[in-house]
Structure 1
């Protein structure tokens, strides 16, 4: 009766006796596993990059903008414009379908001056909860609070590029800037939230919404005094805006006297819907890339099966000789089982290691340099699937013909060519 060490010794001697065949088998397995992992990792890298971009906007955010009302559905002539107002925001806060609402007033025609520099960046009148709905990580100091809003304080929080431009290499907390001649005290700054080469969000100066409406309200005919540029909200149900969006449409339709079923009367961006759409697109991409990888893996599996079948067929006489010397059918099958398992297992691990190393190099070289996309990343379920399927192919391809040969009488097996 052979022990486990004897069986492994037989396996390694058989593998070393056919070095070229062993190398080709292992190369095919490693190539198939590595190809599948890189292709699936590519799709997952694209998916994570898009999710990261959306997360940098905010969490579960739906943005509503000023828009125009068509006279008839799908008609783009004689459209009546309307402006969002604080009344809209107040009414939206009463909706049970929403959990958080904030309004903003934007001005990009103002002039900011510090003791060191001057610029003209976007001034954003916001409420304190803006930093909870949108992604606004505070780097230094603080963000705006309720007292800033209720007392109409003249304080400002600088985006990272705004801080660098107005105070190049100088401290700015507690310092003053003027916005169109009005003095504001800097109370904080925001960390960079640029996406790729797009640093628009870093070029912002945040001030209290009440102060912005007092000093820099919208100008023009028939514009309400409490007009704002956007109202942004989060649905009560996380990850689902199906109930929130129609509820908001009903409020705006009622307040601005139009039929809320007119889809063209709304200008909005639904990050939740966009996120779901991105998932669908990248699910399809994963399916396609995974299919290509599986085809590659399948070709590797066919090669393994062919090599193992030929290997076992060539060794039928060896099997007959071992039986004649007293080897049991179980010990013969154990040898081919472990041969198939070691070949596929070691080769698969090599393939995983090489693909993981390749993707790690890409992570180091490409991270942050492809806006909207992340480099490929290792997906462990695909590694387990590839390694498991190839191991099964290798074991079956070795054990099945070996069992047929071991079932022969020793004399008959020795006659085989």
Structure 2
């Protein structure tokens, strides 16, 4: 009897341990999402399509519009904009400010740092007016860009994220925006990890302000992105960490306090790092296989993939990941370079997790008539292509 009781207790303990070790993380936020940047896979989400007020996370799109124009050669970092009274008023009304003055001529780079590091609402308006003439017109550009990159549930009505019912988004859309920022502007993304910005303001001593992102001050590899706060929405944070060759992006909103915002975001990112691995399947233009060719001037053609392919899987589960190449072969010549000639299938525990086209890395011409006849005879006799 005692042995039976012991056995039951041991089994119960094993079941309890197993359920805890496999349990998904709990995040104390109204809405949250976590993505593996390289694979694009969503590792965690909680009401990710719930509409939120993005607050100062809006400023990510403000900087994207500027980065876009710089990349196109329509704007430069050293170009200067004159600060209007409209912009200056936000520096005197208790909002987050860079503390620019009416009539100041401020470079685009300083305005961007004032927006990204100091979260200056005054800098947002100065940049918006300098680029589009008015903040309203700039907000139109922001919403157009949001739709262009796939932010389907977002509307921007201002450049700073100050309270406005028409300035709304979701954590999923903020994630899309953050991913776009990191992928398309690596040469400017470094602004987001700067811990302080000093502005040599007019009529006073230089003022130094620290970055509001709490994760930058933890030894965890954080290098962005942007905090937010509105009384109606509470605390929010779009964050990213990079460890070795891995990058994770998290967005959360509705944290109850600054402390919660910091701890819960760090918890979510750390969970993603410790519970999952990112596996490189192949890089863009990598040759994956050589496929048989029928009646071609060469017997094989190299097959390549057209994009980087990564997969995210639970730690120590790499053995369950399998890659197979499928094609209707042998492939009949002629074959043109870049023709789709097969598929690469990726499975995890026998579940298909990806299908990708394989392309011909070179053209293969048809054999001459005599060679084709000999090939046909050889095939009939030996079954060899």
- The normalised TM-score by structure 2 is 0.23
The structure in which a higher percent of residues are strand is: 2
- The normalised TM-score by structure 1 is 0.21
The structure in which a higher percent of residues are helix is: 1
Q: Which has the larger radius of gyration?
A: 1
